[in-house]
Amino acid sequence: MTEIKKWRTTMIKKLLFITGFLLPSFALAGETPITGSVQSKCSIYTDIAGVYAQPLPNKLSTSPSDGGVLPKIRYDIVQGDYYKAKITWPNSFTSSPALTDALSWEGAVTVAEVTDVAMSDYETNKIEYNNVTEFDLTVTGTVWFNVNSSVTYGYDKSFPAGTYTSVAVAECIAK
């Protein structure tokens, strides 16, 4: 019986060897997509829309001391230290009556409220350039920013009657 086993083993090996050459071999490849949906962990909301007051005939201002209303922007940060806030105060009108003289814009962005005491560093560590203010959002929680905007018209010129609109732009930028 051992001779039969040897013969059978030899025949199986030969058969496997031959069929390996006779059968076509194919290399198959496939592509499998991998997708993901990313949602920001930083949300921006307008809590209070700003209103210009006219304390002088040639000046519009959102400052409460001038009778205006400061816009208040809320940032909800789900994951701290991954985003920065970039807030741009207005330096032009998006709509207004026709103006024939130069405008002089001023503005500021300040931290109004925070939900975590560690966010108090935001005001101290802010970066300001042109009409832009940036804050490194290092702490999870909610922070509110006030945007102060004022504009004077020409030299001793009165603003023409009409509606004046400008926009403060708030962005949440991934680091």
| b/e 14-23 (16+ beta carbons within 10 angstroms → b) | eeeeeeeeee
Whole-model pTM above 0.85?
A: no
Q: What is the pLDDT of residues 66-94, one digit of tens each?
A: 999 999 999 999 999 999 999 999 999 99
| In contact, 83 and 137? CB cutoff 8 Å | yes
| In contact, 147 and 73? CB cutoff 8 Å | yes
Q: Could you please report the per-residue DSSP string of 5-37?
A: HHHHHHHHHHHHHHHHHHS--------------
Q: What is the pLDDT of residues 99-128, one digit of tens each?
A: 999 999 999 999 999 999 999 999 999 999
**Cα torsion for 136, 137, 138, 144, to the nearest 10°?**
120
pLDDT of residue 105: 98
Q: What is the pLDDT of residues 149-169, one digit of tens each?
A: 999 999 889 999 999 999 999
